[in-house]
């Protein structure tokens, strides 16, 4: 039986927003924000919008596969269902297909935005409303050390107090030298966050962490130093590490988070909506981590406005989220200003 909250349609479209400059990590190079936008329409006329960003090397998706999964697999699961009972609907999205997390995230975000519209409240408040705003870091992609140091200086002048630095394409000694150069360029008051993107072996990581610990660096953590599936090695590394270890690619789902917690493989966990499959499973991951005493960061791919706004809302909604890496709003040549997302300097929040 249908009611005014029944989903009558789910449509998709493609978004492309060029970046100011290519973004380079150990895993890939990105030149533009690309996404599949998903819109749910309710019988009462309320709509909700989400977006899915493909990442072939992390989530294994393309624009074509994302759109196909949303339209052919997820749409039949949601059209005709009512938002009067959202949890079974959100669970059905997660169970609709294995993997394909960004496609699930797009529809999950769209449904949450529709719920926020129905309740006449910001998405941040719907999700928990713990904080008004948070300051993001800005990620410096891999390049020549002098260029990376110069970019770091520009970012600090623009108001960023924390910088995330991608490494892993050179030797460990070269990586540490690059980080030292960046730190010298910006000063010790600026905190650095190191992301290896699975680029080190266990022995390289042990050596690299020792070097980083004694270098004159203000480091918050080292992210994903080892391949994602090496939980035992990550646990051994964490026990001997002089610096906090964050995992990213090791945690997609709540099951992954539970495995990391049981292995003792992380001091911190990076939650991304495109990895988790949306806000509903992201909340489950955060709750597991909070129960285990593990703070979280909310990160992003190079994402579209709709999914980035949802990530900002999620981060501001939860006290256990201590860090954010939601900087793609600053990377686009022209990021849309008519959406939910607002920013001033490094601080991000959703418009009322």
With DSSP H G I counted as helix, E B as strand and the rest as coil, what are the percentages for the chain, rounded to 5?
Answer: 40, 25, 35
- How many separate domains does the chain show? 2
Q: Are residues 224 and 312 in the same domain?
A: yes
pLDDT digits (tens, 9 = 90+) for 128-174: 999 999 999 999 999 999 999 999 999 999 999 999 999 988 999 99
Instruction: State the alpha helices, DSSP H only, in the chain.
Output: 63-69, 75-78, 86-95, 101-119, 123-127, 145-157, 172-186, 202-214, 231-240, 254-263, 273-276, 279-291, 305-317, 328-331
Strand pairing category for 347-350 and 134-135: antiparallel
- Indicate the residue among 120, 138, 172 that finishes a domain: 120
* Distance from C-alpha of 60 to C-alpha of 47, rounded to nearest angstrom: 29
- Indicate the residue among 73, 103, 120 that finishes a domain: 120
* Distance from C-alpha of 38 to C-alpha of 51, rounded to nearest angstrom: 6
Q: What is the pLDDT of residue 28?
A: 72
Q: Are residues 133 and 87 in the same domain?
A: no
pLDDT over 80 at 259, yes or no: yes
Is 166 a catalytic site residue? yes
* Distance from C-alpha of 51 to C-alpha of 279, rounded to nearest angstrom: 12
* Distance from C-alpha of 192 to C-alpha of 215, rounded to nearest angstrom: 12
Q: Are residues 173 and 67 in the same domain?
A: no
Q: Are residues 99 and 198 in the same domain?
A: no
**Catalytic one among 81, 104, 272, 275?**
272
The mean pLDDT value of the chain amounts to 95
Asked whether residue 2 is assigned to any structural domain, the reply reads no
Q: Are residues 197 and 259 in the same domain?
A: yes
Instruction: State the alpha helices, DSSP H only, in 120-162.
Output: 123-127, 145-157
Q: Are residues 339 and 230 in the same domain?
A: yes
Asked whether residue 1 is assigned to any structural domain, the reply reads no
Least confident window among 122-131, 267-276, 292-301, 338-347: 338-347
CATH number for the domain harbouring residue 21 = 3.30.390.10
- Indicate the residue among 120, 140, 175 that finishes a domain: 120
Beta bridge partners of 34: 16
* Distance from C-alpha of 50 to C-alpha of 225, rounded to nearest angstrom: 31
**Catalytic one among 104, 164, 166, 275?**
166
The range of the structural domain enclosing residue 33 comes to: 7-120
Say which residue the tokens 């970019």 belong to.
Answer: 151
Q: What is the pLDDT of residue 352?
A: 81
Is 272 a catalytic site residue? yes
Closest CA to 321 of 160, 155, 127: 127
Q: Are residues 247 and 292 in the same domain?
A: yes
CATH number for the domain harbouring residue 237 = 3.20.20.120
Q: Are residues 156 and 107 in the same domain?
A: no
Q: Are residues 88 and 115 in the same domain?
A: yes
Cα of 186 vs its chain's centroid, Å: 25
Q: Are residues 192 and 242 in the same domain?
A: yes
Q: Are residues 154 and 55 in the same domain?
A: no
Strand, helix or coil for residue 151: helix
Beta bridge partners of 18: 32
Q: What is the pLDDT of residue 306?
A: 95
Q: What is the pLDDT of residue 1?
A: 57
pTM for the whole structure? 0.95
Asked whether residue 31 is assigned to any structural domain, the reply reads yes
């Amino acid at each position: 039986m249908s009611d005014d909250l029944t989903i009558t349609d789910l449509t998709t479209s493609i978004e492309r927003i060029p970046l100011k400059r290519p973004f380079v990590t150990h895993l890939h190079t990105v030149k533009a924000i690309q996404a599949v936008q998903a819109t749910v329409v309710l019988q009462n006329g309320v709509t909700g919008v989400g977006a899915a960003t493909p990442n072939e090397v992390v989530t294994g998706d393309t624009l074509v596969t994302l759109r196909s999964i949303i339209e052919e697999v997820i749409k039949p699961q949601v059209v005709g269902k009512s938002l009067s009972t959202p949890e079974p609907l959100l669970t059905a999205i997660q169970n609709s297909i294995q993997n394909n997390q960004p496609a699930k995230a797009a529809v999950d975000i769209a449904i949450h935005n529709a719920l926020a519209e129905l309740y006449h409240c910001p998405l941040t408040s719907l999700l928990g409303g713990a904080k008004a705003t948070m300051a993001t870091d800005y990620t410096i992609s891999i390049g020549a050390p002098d260029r990376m140091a110069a970019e770091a200086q520009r970012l600090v002048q623009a108001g960023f107090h924390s910088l995330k630095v991608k490494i892993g394409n050179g030797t460990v000694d070269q990586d540490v030298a690059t980080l030292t150069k960046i730190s010298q360029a910006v000063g010790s008051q600026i905190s650095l966050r190191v992301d290896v993107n699975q680029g080190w072996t266990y022995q390289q990581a042990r050596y690299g962490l020792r070097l980083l610990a004694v270098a004159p660096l203000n480091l918050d953590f080292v992210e994903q130093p080892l391949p994602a599936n090496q939980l035992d090695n990550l646990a051994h590394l964490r026990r001997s590490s002089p610096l906090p270890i964050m995992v990213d690619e090791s945690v997609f789902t709540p099951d992954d988070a539970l495995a990391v917690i049981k292995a003792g493989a992380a001091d911190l966990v990076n939650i991304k909506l495109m990895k988790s499959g949306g806000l509903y499973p992201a909340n489950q991951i955060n709750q597991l981590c909070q129960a285990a005493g593990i703070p979280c960061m909310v990160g992003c791919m190079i994402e579209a406005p709709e999914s980035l706004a949802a990530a900002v809302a999620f981060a501001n909604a939860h006290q256990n989220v201590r860090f954010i890496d939601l900087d793609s709003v600053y990377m686009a040549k022209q990021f849309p200003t008519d959406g939910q997302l607002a920013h001033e300097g490094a601080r991000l929040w959703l418009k009322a």
